Amino acid sequence: MTGALKLTCAACGQANRVPAERVGAGPKCGICGAALVSGKVAELDPETLRKAAGDDLPLLVDFWAPWCGPCRQMAPEFAKAAQALAPGVRLAKIDTEAHPAASGRYAIRGIPALILFHRGREVARLAGARPAADIVAFVRGKVAG
Protein backbone atom coordinates (compact mmCIF):
# COMPACT_ATOMS: atom_id res chain seq x y z
CA MET A 1 0.00 0.00 0.00
CA THR A 2 1.23 3.47 -0.80
CA GLY A 3 -0.15 6.94 -0.26
CA ALA A 4 -2.64 8.04 2.36
CA LEU A 5 -5.63 5.96 3.40
CA LYS A 6 -8.97 7.32 4.58
CA LEU A 7 -10.03 5.66 7.84
CA THR A 8 -13.13 6.54 9.85
CA CYS A 9 -12.76 6.52 13.61
CA ALA A 10 -15.17 3.97 15.12
CA ALA A 11 -15.32 5.98 18.35
CA CYS A 12 -16.21 9.46 17.05
CA GLY A 13 -16.97 8.98 13.33
CA GLN A 14 -14.29 11.43 12.19
CA ALA A 15 -12.52 10.76 8.89
CA ASN A 16 -8.73 10.53 9.19
CA ARG A 17 -5.92 10.31 6.63
CA VAL A 18 -3.19 7.83 7.52
CA PRO A 19 -0.03 7.13 5.51
CA ALA A 20 -0.37 3.57 4.21
CA GLU A 21 3.00 2.57 5.62
CA ARG A 22 1.82 3.61 9.12
CA VAL A 23 -1.36 1.50 9.23
CA GLY A 24 0.40 -1.26 11.17
CA ALA A 25 1.95 1.21 13.63
CA GLY A 26 -1.24 1.85 15.61
CA PRO A 27 -2.52 5.13 14.14
CA LYS A 28 -4.86 7.16 16.32
CA CYS A 29 -7.77 9.47 15.53
CA GLY A 30 -6.71 13.09 15.23
CA ILE A 31 -9.86 14.21 17.09
CA CYS A 32 -10.48 11.77 19.94
CA GLY A 33 -7.24 9.75 20.08
CA ALA A 34 -8.92 6.35 19.68
CA ALA A 35 -7.04 3.62 17.81
CA LEU A 36 -7.99 3.51 14.13
CA VAL A 37 -6.57 0.03 13.46
CA SER A 38 -6.44 -2.02 16.65
CA GLY A 39 -7.12 -5.65 15.74
CA LYS A 40 -10.22 -5.47 17.92
CA VAL A 41 -13.88 -5.52 16.94
CA ALA A 42 -15.42 -2.04 16.99
CA GLU A 43 -19.08 -1.39 17.82
CA LEU A 44 -20.66 0.93 15.28
CA ASP A 45 -23.82 2.95 14.98
CA PRO A 46 -25.53 3.24 11.57
CA GLU A 47 -24.02 6.65 10.72
CA THR A 48 -20.47 5.57 11.54
CA LEU A 49 -21.03 2.35 9.58
CA ARG A 50 -22.15 4.38 6.57
CA LYS A 51 -18.94 6.44 6.74
CA ALA A 52 -16.58 3.54 7.51
CA ALA A 53 -17.97 1.39 4.66
CA GLY A 54 -16.35 3.91 2.30
CA ASP A 55 -12.89 3.64 3.86
CA ASP A 56 -9.77 2.57 1.99
CA LEU A 57 -9.28 -0.49 4.22
CA PRO A 58 -11.81 -3.31 3.89
CA LEU A 59 -14.40 -3.45 6.69
CA LEU A 60 -16.14 -6.67 7.73
CA VAL A 61 -19.32 -6.00 9.69
CA ASP A 62 -21.19 -8.51 11.85
CA PHE A 63 -24.91 -7.74 12.03
CA TRP A 64 -26.02 -9.33 15.32
CA ALA A 65 -28.42 -9.03 18.28
CA PRO A 66 -27.95 -9.75 22.01
CA TRP A 67 -30.83 -12.27 22.06
CA CYS A 68 -29.29 -14.34 19.22
CA GLY A 69 -27.53 -17.46 20.55
CA PRO A 70 -25.45 -18.12 17.41
CA CYS A 71 -24.42 -14.44 17.39
CA ARG A 72 -23.15 -14.69 20.97
CA GLN A 73 -21.38 -17.98 20.21
CA MET A 74 -19.63 -16.46 17.20
CA ALA A 75 -18.47 -13.30 19.02
CA PRO A 76 -15.17 -14.77 20.33
CA GLU A 77 -14.43 -16.25 16.90
CA PHE A 78 -15.10 -12.89 15.26
CA ALA A 79 -12.67 -11.29 17.74
CA LYS A 80 -10.01 -13.88 16.83
CA ALA A 81 -10.56 -13.12 13.15
CA ALA A 82 -10.12 -9.39 13.87
CA GLN A 83 -6.69 -10.07 15.34
CA ALA A 84 -5.72 -12.35 12.45
CA LEU A 85 -6.79 -9.89 9.75
CA ALA A 86 -5.29 -6.72 11.28
CA PRO A 87 -3.95 -4.35 10.11
CA GLY A 88 -5.17 -4.94 6.54
CA VAL A 89 -8.86 -5.41 7.38
CA ARG A 90 -10.94 -3.89 10.16
CA LEU A 91 -13.83 -5.75 11.83
CA ALA A 92 -16.89 -4.20 13.41
CA LYS A 93 -20.35 -5.14 14.58
CA ILE A 94 -23.71 -3.44 14.67
CA ASP A 95 -26.51 -4.38 17.04
CA THR A 96 -29.62 -4.85 14.91
CA GLU A 97 -31.87 -4.72 17.96
CA ALA A 98 -30.56 -1.30 18.99
CA HIS A 99 -30.42 -0.12 15.37
CA PRO A 100 -33.28 -1.87 13.51
CA ALA A 101 -33.08 0.50 10.53
CA ALA A 102 -29.64 -0.93 9.73
CA SER A 103 -31.26 -4.31 9.00
CA GLY A 104 -33.51 -2.70 6.42
CA ARG A 105 -30.83 -0.53 4.87
CA TYR A 106 -28.50 -3.50 4.34
CA ALA A 107 -31.25 -6.07 3.59
CA ILE A 108 -30.40 -8.32 6.52
CA ARG A 109 -32.73 -11.34 6.47
CA GLY A 110 -31.12 -13.40 9.24
CA ILE A 111 -28.39 -13.02 11.83
CA PRO A 112 -25.54 -13.36 12.29
CA ALA A 113 -24.81 -11.88 8.88
CA LEU A 114 -21.39 -10.70 7.77
CA ILE A 115 -20.97 -8.06 5.07
CA LEU A 116 -17.59 -7.09 3.67
CA PHE A 117 -17.33 -3.47 2.51
CA HIS A 118 -14.48 -1.80 0.63
CA ARG A 119 -14.35 1.76 -0.70
CA GLY A 120 -18.10 2.27 -0.48
CA ARG A 121 -19.17 -1.01 -2.04
CA GLU A 122 -20.46 -4.25 -0.66
CA VAL A 123 -17.92 -6.86 -1.73
CA ALA A 124 -19.49 -10.03 -0.32
CA ARG A 125 -21.83 -11.54 2.29
CA LEU A 126 -21.66 -14.56 4.53
CA ALA A 127 -24.59 -15.87 6.58
CA GLY A 128 -24.52 -17.85 9.80
CA ALA A 129 -22.13 -18.32 12.70
CA ARG A 130 -18.63 -19.29 11.59
CA PRO A 131 -15.33 -20.18 13.25
CA ALA A 132 -12.48 -17.67 13.01
CA ALA A 133 -10.65 -19.69 10.35
CA ASP A 134 -13.70 -19.59 8.06
CA ILE A 135 -14.12 -15.84 8.57
CA VAL A 136 -10.45 -15.20 7.78
CA ALA A 137 -10.58 -17.43 4.68
CA PHE A 138 -13.78 -15.70 3.49
CA VAL A 139 -12.19 -12.24 3.76
CA ARG A 140 -8.86 -13.26 2.23
CA GLY A 141 -10.70 -14.87 -0.66
CA LYS A 142 -12.54 -11.63 -1.41
CA VAL A 143 -9.88 -8.98 -0.76
CA ALA A 144 -6.76 -8.73 -2.88
CA GLY A 145 -3.50 -8.40 -1.00
Q: Which range of residues forms the domain containing residue 47?
A: 39-142
pTM over the 0.75 mark: yes
Q: Please say if 29 is a catalytic residue.
A: no
Residue among 98, 92, 10, 99 nearest 46 (CA): 99
Q: What is the pLDDT along the chain (145 residues), one digit of tens a residue?
A: 468 999 999 999 999 999 999 998 989 999 999 999 999 999 999 999 999 999 999 999 999 999 999 999 999 999 999 999 999 999 999 999 999 999 999 999 999 999 999 999 999 999 999 999 999 999 999 986 5
The count of domains in the chain is: 1
Residues 6+ apart with CB under 8 A from 101: 46
Q: Element (H or E) spanning 114, and its range?
A: strand 113-118
**Inside any domain, residue 60:** yes
- 3-state SS of 119-140 is CCEEEEEEECCCCHHHHHHHHH
**Inside any domain, residue 59:** yes
Answer whether 37's CB lies under 8 Å from 27's CB.
yes
In eight-state DSSP terms, residue 34 is -
Q: What angle do CA 12, 16, 17 make, to 5 degrees?
A: 170
Q: Please say if 12 is a catalytic residue.
A: no
**Inside any domain, residue 9:** no
**Inside any domain, residue 45:** yes
Q: Rg of the chain over CA atoms, in angstroms?
A: 14
**Inside any domain, residue 81:** yes
Q: 88: domain CATH number? A: 3.40.30.10
Name the 3-class secondary structure at 38. Answer: coil
pLDDT at 120: 93
**Inside any domain, residue 27:** no
User: Which position among 12, 29, 32, 68 bears the catalytic label?
Assistant: 68
User: Which position among 12, 29, 32, 71 bears the catalytic label?
Assistant: 71
**Inside any domain, residue 67:** yes
**Inside any domain, residue 2:** no
